[in-house]
Copies of this chain bind each other. A is one copy, B any other.
Amino acid sequence: MAIKVHGSVISTAAKRVFACLNEKGLEYEFVPVNMAAGEHKKEPFISLNPFGQVPALEDGDLKLFESRAITQYIAHTYADKGNQLVIYDTKKMAIVSVWMEVEAHQFDPAASKLTWELCLKPMFGMVTDEAVVEEYEGKLSKVLDVYEARLAQSKYLGGDCFTLADLHHLPNMKYLMATKAKALFDCRPHVSAWCADIMTRPAWLKVLEMK
C-alpha cells in the first residue's frame, strides 16, 4: 500500500515530511486537506490527528502525526533507500538529536512566529504586527549566533553529513528568505553558506514545485 500524506502545501510541517520522503526517493500520494474550509478540524482528518494539525501520514496500517515523528519514522524505516538522514552510531546520533531538539525548541518558535507575521498573515489578508516581528527577529538573531559558531566548526548542524537536524529547518527558512528576515541569515557567513547548500538539494527543490 502506498504511503499517503494528508496535508497542505502551505504548511511548514507538511513540507518537512515531503522533503524527507523525497530525500529517501519514496513514492507517496499527497491527499490535500483544505485548511481554509477547516477540514483539518473535522472528520475524517481528526481521526488521523486528534489535535487537528497537518500533516498526517499513513503507511499501510500505520497512522502517524507530528511532522518530526514522521520524518524519524521514514528515516529509520527506509534506511536503505535514498539519502541517509540519521547516523547509526550512538554518540554521533546523540549529537544529531541535540540539534534536532535545538531546531524544535530554539529555532522553530522564533522562525515560525516570523513566518506567520511576515508571510502567512499577508497571504491571508491580515496585518503584520511590526512589534512582534522586531521581538522575534531579536530572538532568531540569538539562535543564529549559536548556529554561526556551530557551523564554523561543523559542515552541518548534526555533524559532517546532512541529516534530519538540517532538513527540519527548510520550510521556515524558505519562507523567511522571501522576507526582510533574510538579512539575519545573510549577515552570518557560515549560516548563509549552510542555507545555500541545503536549500538547493534536489529533494527540497521538488517540494517547491508542489501546487
Contact = CB atoms under 8 A, between A and B. Distances in A.
A97 B72 CA distance: 8
A133 interface: no
Contacts of A62: 91, 94
In this complex, which of A50, A91, A94, A101 has the most chain B Cβ atoms within 10 angstroms of its Cβ?
A: A94
B105 A90 contact: no
A97 B68 CA distance: 8
A69 B146 contact: no
A143 B50 CA distance: 9
A43 to B, nearest CB: 14
A69 B106 contact: no
Interface in A63-121: 64-66, 68-69, 72-73, 76-77, 90-91, 93-95, 97-98, 100-102, 104-106
Q: How many subunits of this chain does the assembly comprise? A: 2
A149 interface: yes
A73 B62 CA distance: 25
Interface residues of A, number: 29
Nearest to A50: B146
Nearest to A106: B51
Contacts of A66: 97-98, 101-102, 105
B68 A102 contact: no
Nearest to A66: B101
Contacts of A65: 98
A179 to B, nearest CB: 24
Contacts of A106: 51
Given A68-B101, A69-B101, A77-B94, 12 more contacts: A50-B149, A51-B146, A62-B94, A64-B95, A65-B98, A68-B97, A69-B94, A72-B94, A73-B90, A73-B94, A77-B90, A104-B105
16 contacts: A51-B102, A51-B143, A62-B91, A65-B98, A66-B97, A66-B101, A66-B102, A69-B94, A69-B97, A69-B98, A69-B100, A72-B97, A73-B94, A76-B90, A77-B90, A104-B104
